[in-house]
Structure 1
Amino acid sequence: MTAVTFPGHLPPPPEQQRCSGPRTALLFGREPLLLDCGQPVQGVRVAYHTYGTPSDHAVLVLHALTGTSAVHEWWPEFLGEGRPLDPSRDYIICANVLGGCAGTTGPAELPQIGGEDAPLTLRDMARVGRALLEELGVRRVSVIGASMGGMLAYAWLLECPDLVDRAVIIGAPARHSPWATGLNAAARSAIRAAPGGEGLKVARQIAMLSYRSPESFALTQAGPSARRPGTPAITSYLEYQGEKLAARFCERSYLALTGAMDRFQPSGAELRSIRVPVLAVGISSDVLYPAAEVSAHAAQLPRSTYRELCSPHGHDAFLMDAQELPTWVSEFLHG
């Protein structure tokens, strides 16, 4: 993408100057994608960003639940010259997942079964990603994902073992615990009880409580709200987060993607079959995916390395308090 400079404006940072996107690919035009539920889908649209010079090897970034393919917008500490995702060195690809609402084919365009959206799986998403790589001429990838993206990395390792040469999994287990599934079930119940946006706001509030930690909220949301006098800061913070997500996200996508995460339950034997090197990173204060759970799942992988990010900010530390994380990832991917 060519940088254009207007009077009084700075040029975009180098990572955006090397950004190609958003672009859209139309896949499965001849042979349909067969979903795990048994339903065929033809003409799957995939919206994606690329960074750097096209190559037959790429670093594939897998976004979180409500993230997008625009890596430069949500992971600036990782993308740029001298960083783990360096467009001057790497060909970087990030695609919006199947079932999301950021340009890739969403739930309204997928089959229904008995009046309900066809259940999606993370393996379905990996197969769509594989087709995109074939379209772009990519033969091998290093994969990096955090949160839902980390779980999707596990799906890539199981579904496309011939394509992945190494993987970084941050703040993600191999499968959901009853605790994580229960949080998602409560969020989906809120959406179904109050469709039209209000339920999605509540679902986001439930999720935000699990994305941070008690210590993090004590540090950042104690006392009265500066935004709304007479209201606790935590109350106005959660309300703001709910309103912000409802303005940009689709409740059917939230139902589809959280359901796909809950359904992903690889066995121990499947995990032991993964032969590529994997860096797994737990977060010390993560209440959604406790570090011990992330570590225990990683220990089942034959060639895993585990590190732990010590932060008071819970699950979202990979976004807001990365500390040594970029160094660990750089050393693993490029050391």
Structure 2
Amino acid sequence: MKAAASPSLGVVETHSATVFDAARPLHLRSGATLDHVEVAYETYGTLNEQRSNAVYICHALTGDAHAAGYHDGDDKPGWWDNMIGPGKPIDTDRWFVVCANILGGCQGTTGPASINPATGEPYALDFPLLHVADFVEVHRALARHLGIARFAAVVGGSLGGMQVLQWAMLYPSELGRALIFAASSRLTAQNIAFSAVGRQAIMRDSGFSEGKFLSRGTAPRKGLAVARMMAHITYLSEEAFQEKFGRQSQRDELKPNFGVDFAVESYLEYQGQRFLSRFDALSYLYLTRVMDYFDPFADEGALDALIAEPVRFLVVSFDSDWRFSTEHSRRIVRHLEGAGLPTSFREIRSSWGHDSFLLELPDYHATVRAYLDRAAEELL
């Protein structure tokens, strides 16, 4: 992992668009409808006259629309600033890049913390349960708003990769290439178990108030922090934890107690507390549950549309990722290759576990750059 050498995009802005309304509501997979859907999004680069150079970024569980550059007065870059920008693998001198906060999120897009027009109160647990396909429908609506009929590529890691896969399977004519990093097409029992414990930590917090904490002025802060702390353990490999912390203590002399004595404990405490300022507990419940039920290859004829109109796939895994191990990626590849779809696969060496897809790893970035260079050549 190394520091980015290419320049940043500089100051960028988050925009908002209403993509569904009462005249054209969003019909969800559950059968429920939403009469108003607002989407927060950012764009980088310039859309060409042919509108053919657009790339869509799908973010992971706790991501948002701010993928690259800086917000005015903020020195914190977007969550994928090492990947997106001038001269970077997703080169904004060449590509027009779009990234939006997903449906059910809490960073400007309609979600369970939004106001329910029918009641004037936050939806809370009255917000309908979601499906990855619902995320895709909102992405597509934003594309229509921006006047983009087809993306040269759709890119995402983890939950973002699930969105990419679903989009390609449902609407293959709308993307030329699909880039899927550190993702899964079906969670294992262990994956589901981690998320279940995180949700229980939130819902058993007295501040959860049966999901109505936004209206009652409480908050499940302890539960959400614990959920984040536990999840963060799954994002790093044992090698990464050992390299970063080992058994380093916080004190000159360790005396057994129940406080925060080890450096790794302090790190997890910091991650949990930091999470409280930027994420909503309800969104955490809804988005983790979406992942549990995702199993797109189980649907009869799931690949029929793709077989009729093939999309090129790049699937990348990381050898130390035990949250979504290489076997999860290989399962995606087996289904795609079994259907005769053009699929490239690469396992990248990394000591950083699941979070590797967010980092600047030379082999990883070189792979993405080369793959998108070929996509650019197709546009010439």
Identify whether the pair has TM-score above 0.5, normalized to the shorter chain: yes
Q: Is the 8 A contact 1:151 1:175 kept in 2?
A: no
Q: Tell me the equivalent position of 2:190.
A: 179
- 1:120 Cα offset (Å): 0.8
Q: Distance in 2 between matches of 1:114 and 1:224?
A: 41
- 1:115 Cα offset (Å): 5.7
Residue 98 of structure 2 corresponds to residue 96 of structure 1:
no
Q: Is the 8 A contact 1:127 1:159 kept in 2?
A: no
Q: Is the 8 A contact 2:199 2:285 kept in 1?
A: yes
Q: Distance in 1 between matches of 2:91 and 2:264?
A: 37
Q: Deviations over 1:290-314 (max 9, x none)?
A: 1122122222112211101111111
3-state secondary structure, aligned to 1:295: helix
Q: Deviations over 1:137-193 (max 9, x none)?
A: 011111010111111111211232220111110000112122211111111111111
Q: Distance in 1 between matches of 2:282 and 2:170?
A: 25
Q: 1:202 aligns with which of 213, 226, 246?
A: 226
Q: Tell me the equivalent position of 1:41.
A: 34
3-state secondary structure, aligned to 1:168: strand
Q: Distance in 2 between matches of 1:42 and 1:178?
A: 35
Instruction: Output the amino acid matched with 1:266.
Output: P
Q: Which moved more, 1:107-116 or 1:73-82?
A: 107-116
Q: Is the 8 A contact 2:19 2:141 kept in 1?
A: yes
Q: 2:154 aligns with which of 143, 162, 167?
A: 143
Instruction: Output the amino acid matched with 1:215.
Output: E
TM alignment of 1:322-333, pairs within 5 A: 322-333=361-372
Q: Deviations over 1:183-204 (max 9, x none)?
A: 1111111111113211111111
Q: Which moved more, 1:314-323 or 1:324-333?
A: 314-323
Q: Tell me the equivalent position of 1:222.
A: 246
3-state secondary structure, aligned to 1:92: strand
Q: 1:125 to 1:115 in 2, by over 3 A?
A: closer
3-state secondary structure, aligned to 2:358: helix
Q: Is the 8 A contact 1:148 1:172 kept in 2?
A: yes
Instruction: Provide TM-score, normalisation by structure 2.
Output: 0.80
Q: Tell me the equivalent position of 1:6.
A: none
Q: Distance in 1 between matches of 2:366 and 2:157?
A: 16
- 1:16 Cα offset (Å): 2.7
- After the TM superposition, which parts of structure 1 deviate over 4 Å for at least 4 consecutive aligned residues? 110-116, 225-230
Q: Distance in 2 between matches of 1:271 and 1:322?
A: 32
User: C-alpha root-mean-square deviation of aligned residues, in Å?
Assistant: 2.2
Instruction: Output the amino acid matched with 2:243.
Output: L
Q: Is the 8 A contact 2:171 2:305 kept in 1?
A: no
- Unmatched 5+ residue regions in structure 1? 1-12
Q: 1:186 to 1:325 in 2, by over 3 A?
A: same
Instruction: Output the amino acid matched with 2:302.
Output: E
Q: Distance in 2 between matches of 1:44 and 1:223?
A: 48
- 1:272 Cα offset (Å): 7.0
3-state secondary structure, aligned to 1:176: coil
Instruction: Output the amino acid matched with 2:175.
Output: V
Q: 1:271 to 1:178 in 2, by over 3 A?
A: farther
Q: 1:285 to 1:97 in 2, by over 3 A?
A: same
Instruction: Provide TM-score, normalisation by structure 1.
Output: 0.90
Q: Tell me the equivalent position of 1:3.
A: none
* Largest Rg, 1 or 2: 2
Fraction of identical pairs, as percent: 36
Q: Distance in 2 between matches of 1:172 and 1:16?
A: 30
Residue 75 of structure 2 corresponds to residue 62 of structure 1:
no
3-state secondary structure, aligned to 1:108: coil
Q: Deviations over 1:85-136 (max 9, x none)?
A: 2121110000000000000011133699996431111100100110100010
TM alignment of 1:157-168, pairs within 5 A: 157-168=168-179
Q: 2:315 aligns with which of 280, 294, 315?
A: 280
3-state secondary structure, aligned to 2:180: strand
Q: 2:143 aligns with which of 133, 148, 154?
A: 133
Residue 270 of structure 2 corresponds to residue 270 of structure 1:
no
Q: Tell me the equivalent position of 1:306.
A: 345
